[in-house]
Amino acid sequence: DAKTTQPPSMDCAEGRAANLPCNHSTISGNEYVYWYRQIHSQGPQYIIHGLKNNETNEMASLIITEDRKSSTLILPHATLRDTAVYYCIVRARDDKIIFGKGTRLHILP
């Protein structure tokens, strides 16, 4: 079973920041938080990952709470091309990925 809980769907206006929450209350100390997204009919795309500290790259920012039990993926300026299913994954370094149902993000024009 997936170790994370995400809302099934969210809407965000184009140009605004999209904040996608994820709960992972049973995360272990050696497990990372990963985010992927899947645009229709494509393979999942890696977005970002982190262990304890907040992370930022050219695609997004990842905010992890101090107790590590939840995190938020932030897409700073959402575009229509960001419409996708977003998956929050918790895994240790050598673990496989087990997908949950993710959050279906709709970007509204």
Partner 1 sequence: GAVVSQHPSRVICKSGTSVKIECRSLDFQATTMFWYRQFPKQSLMLMATSNEGSKATYEQGVEKDKFLINHASLTLSTLTVTSAHPEDSSFYICSARESDSGVSGNTIYFGEGSWLTVV
Q: What are phi and psi of 77, to 5 degrees?
A: -140, 90
List Cβ neighbours of 26 (8 Å cut-off, separation of 6 or more). Answer: 3
Q: Least Å distance between CB 72 and partner 1?
A: 19
Neighbour-count burial for 65-79, b at 16+ CB within 10 Å, e otherwise: eeebebbbbbbeebe
Q: What are phi and psi of 105, to 5 degrees?
A: -95, 125
Residues 47-66 that bind partner 1 (CB under 8 A): 49, 51
Binding status of residue 44 toward partner 1 by CB under 8 A: yes
Residue number, 18 or 31, with CB nearest to partner 1 = 31
Question: Which region, judged by CB under 8 A, interacts with partner 1, from 9-17, 18-26, 31-39, 69-77?
Answer: 31-39
**Binding track over 63-82 against partner 1, x by CB under 8 A:** --------------------
Q: Considering only residues 46, 54, 56, 79, which one is a binding residue for partner 1 as defined by CB under 8 A?
A: 46
Point out which residues bind partner 1 (CB under 8 A).
32, 34, 36, 38, 41-46, 49, 51, 87, 93-94, 96-102
